[in-house]
Structure 1
Amino acid sequence: MFTSVIIPAYNEADRIENTLNGIVDIDIIDEIVVIDDGSSDSTVEILSRYKSDKLKFWVQNSNQGKGKALEKGLELCNSISDIVVFLDADLGNTSSEVVKIIMPVINNECDVAIARFRPAKKKGGMGFVKRLARDSVYEMTGVELNSTISGQRAFKKEVIDRFSKIPDGYGVEVGMTIDILKWGYTVREYIVDMTHNETGRDLKGFIHRGKQYLHIKRIVNKKRREWGN
């Protein structure tokens, strides 16, 4: 089994190196593709000096969004990939927990495995966003998942190949989950001990959550039209 990990990164200079360190020596990971999405910090310099034969990276000239970054990553993946993994850049050393979602796919327990984080240590006010995502997926597919906005996912290549385009914006994971379940693939969640930059309860945090909510609402409405729900 050949496994490719795709990491979209935007201004992640503080964490990208540790995120790579957490996965670079994992035997079941064969290549790591990082897409820098127009960072204005030193993310690219860190990637440039990172020493690993597994790593390849691409720099977008401007910030084009997560969907476009993932599409570019898929384009650069080795054509022999059997499993494709999406991973966020801000996980730090806890990225090593990714084996908990890769192994179930290798072992054919499911077609797609999603990382389910333990409850956040600080209250972030994300409840209404997560609720919208969870309830929308359930209403459209009849499948109850708790981590529909989690960016940590492992896919059988045949599943990812069904997508002609990756949804853009903060609704990317919800949109993909709806399509995957509607196509009849199996999706399971696995608890991981990952941590990432938690959104705070300040103005910036609330603006971010507002954008997430609107993006998810938009992609769900789009999927309702496409699937006739």
Structure 2
Amino acid sequence: MRKKVSVLIPAYNEAKYIFQTVAAVKKIPEVDEVFVIDDASTDNTSELAKKAGAEVLTLRENHGKGGALNKGIALATGDVIALIDGDVGETASEVRKLIMPVIEGKADMTIARFPKAKKKGGFGLVKGLARNGIKLLTGLEMAAPLSGQRAMTREVIRAIGRFSSGYGVEVGLTIDIARKGYKILEVDVNMTHAETGRDLRGFIHRGKQFMHVSKVLARRLIMR
């Protein structure tokens, strides 16, 4: 029996990329439904997502990435659920490389491993924190601990219950799934996204990431 595939795209002010992202996902043969969760954007993210063919849930208040996904997951009816960031644009077509191993039963969750960044971002503090925390709590060595591009079974979604809040969602997801004994597979993809640079905006973003990831790891450490 063919497995149904749902794609969730949390988005906040992604008008620059969301049309291309949705359009690329819609062309994937295995994808049955695409949902954009507009996290109270102040631009025309919702309108462009609808124009590209997505079903859109527009939130009145900003819930953060994890909160937006928790709102969106109730809409998805697929046996396989894929998560994609709104800023990957045309390279969103590469998510098929994540979906297929899950459909074929080779993994319970796949994680996208991006090519090396084209410009300098941070100093690796958030990624290092995430990688070391995951290893400490699960024993897994992850090359892409912060990657938001993932695919997983419906069973995995049921097992974790809810996504962690904020920017700690990916780290919390990896730890929770690994602790329950599910198989995780990192997959090389030729994807790109809007990279943050070494400017004030970039450092503020990574500062928030660091705090959110720290909270997720502390919570899991206590629950250990």
TM-score computed with the length of structure 1 as normaliser: 0.94
Q: CA deviation at 1:166?
A: 1.2
Matched with 1:63 is 62
Matches within 5 A, 1:48-127: 48-50=50-52, 52=53, 55-78=54-77, 81-127=78-124
User: What secondary structure is seen at the aligned counterpart in 2 of 1:162?
Assistant: helix
User: What secondary structure is seen at the aligned counterpart in 2 of 1:89?
Assistant: coil
Q: 2:195 aligns with which of 194, 198, 201?
A: 198
Q: Deviations over 1:31-87 (max 9, x none)?
A: 00110000001112213433x3xx311100011111111011110112xx2100010
Matched with 1:3 is 5
Partners of 2:67 and 2:102 in 1: CA distance: 25
Matched with 1:220 is 217
Q: CA deviation at 1:216?
A: 0.5
Q: Deviations over 1:1-28 (max 9, x none)?
A: 1000000010000100000111112110
Matched with 1:44 is 46
Partners of 2:123 and 2:192 in 1: CA distance: 15
Q: 1:133 aligns with which of 126, 130, 135?
A: 130
Matched with 1:183 is 180
Given that 1:124 and 1:201 are in contact with CA atoms closer than 8 Å, whether structure 2 keeps it comes out as yes
User: What secondary structure is seen at the aligned counterpart in 2 of 1:139?
Assistant: helix
Matched with 1:24 is 26
Partners of 1:84 and 1:20 in 2: CA distance: 15
Q: CA deviation at 1:126?
A: 4.7
User: What secondary structure is seen at the aligned counterpart in 2 of 1:194?
Assistant: coil
Partners of 1:136 and 1:10 in 2: CA distance: 27
- Stretches of 4+ aligned residues off by more than 2 angstroms: 47-50
Partners of 1:108 and 1:172 in 2: CA distance: 24
Given that 1:114 and 1:150 are in contact with CA atoms closer than 8 Å, whether structure 2 keeps it comes out as yes
Partners of 1:126 and 1:24 in 2: CA distance: 35
Partners of 1:73 and 1:45 in 2: CA distance: 17
| Letter matched to residue 119 of structure 1 | K
Moved more, 121-130 or 185-194: 121-130
Tell me, which stretches of 5 or more residues in structure 1 are unaligned?
none
RMSD between aligned residues? 1.0
Partners of 1:76 and 1:126 in 2: CA distance: 38
Matched with 1:172 is 169
Identity percentage of aligned residues:
48
Q: Deviations over 1:78-114 (max 9, x none)?
A: 2xx2100010000000000001111111111111000
| Letter matched to residue 34 of structure 1 | V
Matched with 1:33 is 35
